[in-house]
Amino acid sequence: MKKVQTEVFAHRGLSGLYPENTMVAFKAAAKLPIDGIELDVQLTKDNVPVIIHDVTLERTTEGQGMVRDHTLEQLMTYSAGAWYSEQFRQEKIPTLEEVLIWAKNYAFKLNLELKCPSWERKEMWGAVKSLIHRHGMSDRILISSFDHVLIASIEKEETPVETAVIVVAGLFQPLSYIQSTGTRGFHYFFPMMLDGEIKPLMEAGISVRSYTINDKQMMKQAFQSRVTGIFTDYPHVALQIREEIQ
C-alpha cells in the first residue's frame, strides 16, 4: 500500500531561488519530486490569462500601473525577472496557456489562484476554463481563490476541476462554512489555525493545505499534522524534511 504523504507545492515556482511566477522558476521546481506548482492568474486588458501575483506591475516587472490596464503585447515588453537579478532579464510574464502546454509533460498538479475584481468573475473563469478544457488538463488543475463567491459559482457548474477557498484568518466553525460553498478544499495561513481546528476538517474529507511555509520548524509541524499539502517558496527544503518525518 502506497504511503500517503503531505503534498508539497512550489509556491509561484521555486520562488526562493528564482523570480516568482516565471518559466525559469517553474522549470526549476519541475526538476524536483514536487506534487504541484502554485501560480497566480490575472486577466490582461484583452482578456488573456497571465501569470503574475500583484495587481500592479511595479514590484516584479519594469512596467507601471495595473496588469488589467495592459494588453498582452504591452506586457511582453517588460522583463519579469530583472527585478530579481539581471541574469533573469529575458524572463517574461508567462501566459496561462504557455504554462499549460509546458506542464503537459509532467505529472504534478497546477494550483491556479484566480485574482480578479468581483465584477469580472464571469470573464475570468470563462477564459481559464476554456484553456483548461482545450488542453485536457481538468484532472490536474486545482482552482483556488480568496473570492469564495467565485469558488461557489464554479462548484455549482459541477465541473471536474478541484477547487479550494483561501483564508488568511482563523475561522469560527470552519467546516459548516466550507461546506456551504460546495468546495472540498481549504487553504489557510498556517499560523492562524491549530491542529485541533483543522483535524475535524480532514476527518470530514476536506483537503486542507497550509501556506506559505518557509520556516523549517513550521514545515515539521505541518508534516507532523499530516495536512493534505503545504505551499512553500523552498520546496527542495520541504521535500527533505518530509522524507525525514513521513
Catalytic residues: 11, 53
Cell of 220: 515539521
Single out the residue of 65, 95, 70, 90 nearest to residue 80, CA to CA: 90
Within 13 Å, how many C-alpha atoms sit on residue 39's CB side?
32
Mutual angle of helices 96-103 and 23-30, in 10-degree steps: 20
Which secondary-structure segment (H or E) carries 209?
strand 207-211
Cell of 67: 496588469
Single out the residue of 227, 228, 221 nearest to residue 245, CA to CA: 221
SS3 205: coil
Are residues 196 and 172 in contact, defined by beta-carbon separation less than 8 angstroms?
Answer: no
Cell of 94: 508567462
Is beta strand 49-51 parallel, antiparallel or unpaired with respect to 162-167?
unpaired
**The amino acid at 130:** S
**Cα angle for residues 165, 172, 12 (degrees, 5° grid):** 30
Beta bridge partners of 37: 10, 110
